[in-house]
Amino acid sequence: MLLEIPEIFTPQQAAEMKAALLQAEWVDGRVTAGHQSAQAKQNRQLPENSPVARECGERILKALPQSGLFMSAALPQRVFPPLFNRYEGGEHFHNHVDNAIRRLPTGGQIRTDLSCTLFLSEPDEYEGGELLIDDTYGAHKVKLPAGSLVLYPSTSLHRVTPVTGGSRICSFFWLQSLVRDDGQRTLLFDLDMSINRLRQELGDHEAIVAQTGVYHNLLRRWSEP
Ligand code: NI
C-alpha cells in the first residue's frame, strides 16, 4: 500500500528544519547506496553523524507517533534513524529497490518493510524531482507539500526524476513493521479506518467492540514482535 500522510510537520516547522539542514556539510549520496544503487544514484546527503541531521532525525522520530494515520498504516516495530538528501542541477536517482537489510548505527539491523520520504521543500521550490513508485497498478507520481510524508512498500521499484531547477530537500528512512506482509498490513489498516468511522457515527456500539476484537486478534496472529 502506498499512502500519503499530510502534515507530519506544519509548513513553518518544515521550513525551519530545511533552513538548519542547508547550513550543514553535504556529501556524495552514494555513501549509503548498495553496489547496484550506487550506479543509479546522483545526489547529496548529510552524513549519519552530522549533528544537524541527528537533531532533525530526532524531531522526526518524535513526530511520527503523533500521527494516528502513520501508526495505523505502518505498525512500526523499529525505525531507521532518518537520513536527508538533496537534489539540484539535474541530480536524480534511477530505478532501484532499497536494500532489504540495513545496519543500525547503534548496532543490530532492521529488515526494511516500508520506505518513507518526508518532503521538506515545497513543490514550487524545485522543478522535476518527482518520486515515481511502481506498484501493480502502474507508476505513482509523488511530490508533496513540505511536512508531508509518503509511505510505500520497500519491495517497490522507484526513482527520483532529475531536479532541473531549484533544490529538493527530503528526509528518507525505512522501518521494520510488526506485520511483515504488505497485504496483511493493508487489511489491518483498512479495518482500523473502518472501525474509526463507525465509532464516529455510531458511538460505542456492541458490533464495534466485536470488530475491534477482530482487529486485535488478527494483529496478534500476524505480528512478529
Ligand atoms: Ni530508494
Q: Give the tens place of pLDDT for each residue, 103-144.
A: 998 899 999 999 999 999 999 999 999 999 999 889 999 999
Q: What is the CA(33)–ligand 1 centre distance, in A?
A: 9
Distance 98 CA to ligand 1 centre (A): 5
Residue 206 and residue 201: Cα distance in Å, rounded?
13
pTM value > 0.85: yes
Average pLDDT of the segment spanning 87-106: 92
Taking only the tens place, the pLDDT of each residue in 140-159 is 999 999 999 999 999 999 99
Q: How far apart are CA 219 and CA 213, in angstroms?
A: 10
Quote the CA–CA distance of 89 and 116 in Å, as a whole number: 24
190 alpha carbon to ligand 1 midpoint, in Å?
26
Cα gap 152→172, rounded to integer Å:
12
CA of 131 relative to ligand 1 center, distance in Å: 9
Q: What is the pLDDT of residue 225?
A: 80
Whole-number Å distance, alpha carbon 119 to ligand 1 midpoint, is 14
**How far, CA to CA in Å, does 51 sit from each of 23, 28, 58, 85?**
11, 17, 11, 15
Cell reading at 20: 538548519
- Distance CA(193)–CA(196), nearest Å, equals 5
Bridge partners (DSSP) listed for residue 102? 110
pLDDT at 134: 95
Phi, psi of 13 (to 5 degrees): -60, -40
pLDDT tier at 31 (50, 70, 90 boundaries)? confident
Q: Quick one: which of 179, 199, 189 has its CA closest to 3?
A: 189
Q: Are 175 and 127 in contact (CB under 8 A)?
A: no
